[in-house]
Amino acid sequence: MPKQMNSSFGHAQSKKTYHTKNRVEKNDTLIYALGGLGEVGKNMYCYEHENEICIVDCGVLFPGDDLLGVDYVIPDYHHLIRMNKKRKFLVITHGHEDHIGGIPFLLKQVNIDAIYAPRFAKALIQKKLSEHKGLERTKIIEINDESRIHTKYFTVGFFNTIHSIPDSLGVLITTPNGSIVHTGDFKFDLTPVGTNADYQKMAYIGVLKPDLLMSDSTNSGVEDFSISEKKVANEILDIMRKTKQRLIVATFASNVHRVSQILEAAIKCGRKVIVFGRSMENVVDIGRKMGTIKVKNSDFLSPDELAHIPDEKVCIICTGSQGEPLAALSRISNGTHRYIHIKPGDTIVFSSNPIPGNASSVNKVIDNLFRSGATVLTKSILNNLHTTGHASKEEQKLMLQLIKPRYFMPIHGEYKMLMQHRQTAMEVGVPKEKIFVCANGDILILRNHEVLQSDWRYQGDDIYVDGNDISGLSTAVLKDRRILADNGLVSVIIAIDSKTNKILMRPVIVSRGFVFIKDSQGLIKEAEFIVHNSLQEKMKEKTTFSEIKNCVRSTLEPYLYKKTHRNPIVIPVIINSRQTMEEIQQKRLAKQRVRKKEEV
């Protein structure tokens, strides 16, 4: 467990083994991430000076297949909870889940003075908090590129950036020790949909010589400039015009600009639109209220009207472009959707790229769609059906050249991406000793316009959330889930009479997900015999229920592993009742008689 710094920093100062230069001093500004480094998701970056903490973003990470039963992964807020006496305010760069999804969990544990969010993100946060009782009255202040936040130690300003969602902002944070530019998620698009990036303001910030740049690393390994969103819009419009049958388009609900372009293209081609998928419906609803999505009520279909409109006049927009099992497109592909069934001749457009790790799920959905007679179009060298919302290598170079930082810290990316971004920064002239590739919990010290890495660090662990349980799931619970998935469960039913300290009958072993009972009768009977002998020895002296359970586990687990090379979860069940056991014995004998009759 990494050591933590206390609020007075006296602990750190008492350690003589650390270099004086890298020791935290009273007037230092501390910079650290609780999420977003070494991963793509759960972004959360903190800037701490004296009794104030400026937090930028508070996201979630969606779990992979290895996290069984986990709904979200959030940062460990332990440090912020310990610092509850300090004033904290939260600044949001944009409204994607990996930047706002953790807000309800944070608010339930940490005192936040106010949330500052751009217009579209504010609407999404309000919708999210309305689903959590007691959080709907949280103070949310709308910001834009002209806004300023002034506190005792921080001045926070903003500049427009381009991303796949409206109202995306970069952040300039001025502290008593120097200035920091935090880009948020960004790309450069010379023909953007929506608000353009503020190149002039970025260049002006560069003239002011900021001390540290913290920049998005997601596409560090992608060469050249990314495709313009306008090109994708033109490609989709062309497909709409050429397609003479029903059209189904799957994309990310979070890509608001793309959703807007798809809707407008459908209407231009005389198609009525219908939206499926809860997240997609929410985004379209909020986008229309915000004026970002300009589609009239008369252009939408209800599910009941869908069957009465000619196929060539219909465009269905849905979630599921990543092959998520419960998303609309997955249910359409396997024939379980309530309103839509694939017809031969339907055209399905994937306006997305598979996220790493999702390729097999996406391919399975595509295969099912082809089997149903549909035509499936995906992004390839032959079309421009998707573009990213994150800066490629050349765009990252442009950001570095505009801001001209003295120090650089790549953020928002897996370790490989951070290292690739480091190399890009070195190519544009940032000295390698002034580039910091950090992990969650690592602390940078900003002191009199100089950036140093502290020898100390905060806790930067993951917290696993099941439903709305903000306490998170313990490691032990996840470990048990993995064992159950890989090795199954064995239950041992033991009947005793504690008054006479005797075993009433031979233990009964029941297995689920471990071995097939009918094919393993010899193994089960031998296991019951071994456990019975071990318990007889144990019951010769006074013992406790806990000791009996430990005796069963220590006897059975090595035996099962020796025979099968598997380690199932062993659960002893003790029944301390002669009458109950007699009833169980009678049922057991009755089953044996029925089995013998069937064999005859």
93 known member of a binding site: no
Phi and psi at residue 439, to the nearest 5°? -110, 165
Q: Is 341 annotated as a binding residue?
A: no
Instruction: Return the residue matching tokens 């706002």.
Output: 100
| Three-state secondary-structure class, residue 389 | coil
Residue owning tokens 């009794």: 51
Instruction: Tell me the three-class secondary structure of 144-170, residue by residue.
Output: CCCCEEECCCCEEEEEEEECCCCCEEE
Annotated ligand binding at 185? The verdict is: yes
532 is in an annotated binding site: no
Ligand-binding site membership of 372 (annotated): no
**Considering 49, 79, 390, 421, which one is annotated as catalytic?**
390
**Residue 257 known to bind ligand:** no
What is the spatial distance between Cα 368 and Cα 334, in angstroms, rounded to a whole number?
7
Kindly write down the DSSP assignment for every residue of 278-305, as one continuous string.
HHHHHHHHHHHHHTSS---GGGB--TTT
Strands 115-118, 140-143: pairing is parallel
Q: Is the dihedral of CA 446, 447, 449, 452 positive or negative?
A: negative
Cα–Cα distance, 523 to 314 (Å, whole number) = 61
99 is in an annotated binding site: yes
- Report the relative pairing of strands 375-377 and 148-150 from DSSP bridges: unpaired
Is 270 assigned a ligand-binding role in the annotation?
no
Does 390 participate in catalysis according to the annotation? yes
Residue 455 annotated as part of some ligand binding site: no
What residues contact residue 236 under an 8 Å CB cut-off, 6+ apart? 249, 261, 262, 265, 349, 351, 385
255 is in an annotated binding site: yes
Radius of gyration of the chain (CA): 30
In angstroms, the CA 49 to CA 51 distance is 6
How many Å apart are CA 598 and CA 148, to the nearest integer? 82
**Was 389 annotated as part of a binding site?**
yes
359 is in an annotated binding site: no
Angle among Cα 32, 390, 329 to the nearest 5 degrees reads: 115
216 given a catalytic annotation: yes
What are the strands, taking DSSP E only, across 434-538?
Answer: 442-447, 450-457, 462-465, 489-497, 502-503, 508-512
Is 387 annotated as belonging to a binding site?
A: yes
Report how far residue 393's alpha carbon sits from residue 225's, in angstroms, rounded to the nearest whole number: 7
466 has binding-site annotation: yes
254 marked as part of a ligand binding site: yes
Q: Is 519 annotated as a binding residue?
A: no
Six token digits for residue 404:
């001209």
Point out the catalytic residue in the list 167, 216, 346, 442: 216
d(CA 471, CA 475): 12
495 is in an annotated binding site: no
339: DSSP letter: S
Residue 94 counted as an annotated binding residue = yes
Active site residues: 216, 390
From the annotation, which residues make up the binding site for Zn(2+)?
94, 96, 98-99, 163, 185, 412
From the annotation, which residues make up the binding site for Ca(2+)?
69, 71, 466
From the annotation, which residues make up the binding site for substrate?
253-255, 386-390
From the annotation, which residues make up the binding site?
69, 71, 94, 96, 98-99, 163, 185, 253-255, 386-390, 412, 466
